[in-house]
Amino acid sequence: MLQTISLLSELINCPSITPDDANCQQILKNHLKKIGFNITDLPKGPVKNFWAKRGNNAPLFLFAGHTDVVTPGDLKAWQFDPFKATEHDDFIYGRGAQDMKGPLAAMIVATAQFINKYPDHKGSIGFLITSGEEGSDYMDGTPHVMKYLEDESEKIDYCIVGEPSSQHQLGDTIRHGRRGSLHAYLTVHGKQGHVAYHQLADNPIHRAISAIHALVQTQWDEGNQDFDPTSLQITSIESGRFGENNNVIPNALKLQFNFRYSPLSNEDNIKQRVEKILHEHHVNYDITWELSGKPFITENSILSQKTAQAIQTVMGISPKFSTGGGTSDARFIAPSGAQVIELGVCNDRIHQVDERVNIEELQKLVRIYYLLLESLLVKT
Ligand SMILES: [Zn+2]
């Protein structure tokens, strides 16, 4: 029988820095073929994706995840080679151990165990795997596969995304929704001139300051029981050249900011409110917007109940349902109407040096995924 740790080690040993898959998907596909899955390769641009399905009936239970990882950063800072799985003190070390090669291995092993016990289970099982989650090519990943599934009239009922959702203990936190994410790129126009003759110039920095102050002081909404209040964070300001030309008023200021927004706000009213503030402060500007994901939530669903039960059985704890944290590919799956939950191992080392996963924790995740399949796909 397939072993979780050996599969995880095989995956870690592939240096799949986004969007390079580095052969991870071939390893997963080989295992899935052996247990009766039909595989459809759906590469796009530099990103590799595949869709795998076993069975033709509803309900369709989907495991979703990514094989790519972020860069290891400074190799000298790592205790072990990030692309050579190393077992040490109850942990497997390597880039992607938590995010999310560990959960990928757990999904495959749980599915293999489940099919071994219930070869004639009801419904179908699917895998949506991409190598384009961590980088700028994400639109070639899960969104591309979702478009294919829509064209094929595939309807996903339940979806588990293996993002590392747990905080202190496996299963203590389930993500059942996410805030929306909206990027803004603002240029404030002024008129360049000599600082000694400022009457002849128009200082864009001075113009922007009061507007920026108003933007960061604004309470966009108050959030609710499921969502934190909408928050605006400035991520970059640029104007003039620091250390040079200290007698020149620059002609423009560029500002970059991001909204993480709750469903109490929406894309349009945020944009209107921002532009109103800019007008009130007499700012001459251009702004472009980029919507990275709308907010979503899977509330009181069968999937959340069954997931909570499986965690209770294996861990003896009741999970907290959260919409915190960053975005994930769940945002591209939820709009299809599927119930979507993110459940994976602890996230204390994700994207850090010495990323590692606890071996026992990973074995328990296999058990939770297995019980979930059993509770949703076994005829009662
Ligand atoms: Zn991830």
Residue 134 Cα to ligand 1 middle (Å): 7
**Which sequence positions are flagged as catalytic?**
68, 133
Going by C-beta distance under 8 Å and a sequence separation of 6 or more, which residues neighbour residue 148? 40, 42, 51
Q: Bin 223: left if φ > 0, else alpha if -120 < ψ < 50, else beta.
A: left
- Average pLDDT of the segment spanning 332-355: 95
Going by C-beta distance under 8 Å and a sequence separation of 6 or more, which residues neighbour residue 71? 17
For the chain, what percent of residues have pLDDT higher than 70? 99
Domains of the chain: 4-178+295-377 (3.40.630.10), 181-293 (3.30.70.360)
The pLDDT, as a whole number, for residue 325 is 78
The pLDDT, as a whole number, for residue 298 is 87
Residue 155 Cα to ligand 1 middle (Å): 24
Residue closest to 295 by CA, chosen among 205, 162, 182, 161: 182
**Other CB atoms within 10 A of residue 230 CB:** 24
- Average pLDDT of the segment spanning 331-359: 95
For the chain, what percent of residues have pLDDT higher than 90? 94
Residue at token pair 């921002």 = 274
The pLDDT, as a whole number, for residue 258 is 97
- Average pLDDT of the segment spanning 77-99: 97
3-state secondary structure of 168: coil
The pLDDT, as a whole number, for residue 2 is 65
- C-alpha to C-alpha distances, 7 to 24, 27, 103, nearest whole angstrom: 10, 8, 11
349 has a pLDDT exceeding 90: yes
- For 273-293, the pLDDT digits (tens) are 999 999 999 999 999 999 988
Side-chain-facing half-sphere of 62: CA atoms under 13 Å: 29
The pLDDT, as a whole number, for residue 337 is 93
Residue 249 Cα to ligand 1 middle (Å): 44
Residue 370 Cα to ligand 1 middle (Å): 21
380 has a pLDDT exceeding 80: no
Residue 254 Cα to ligand 1 middle (Å): 31
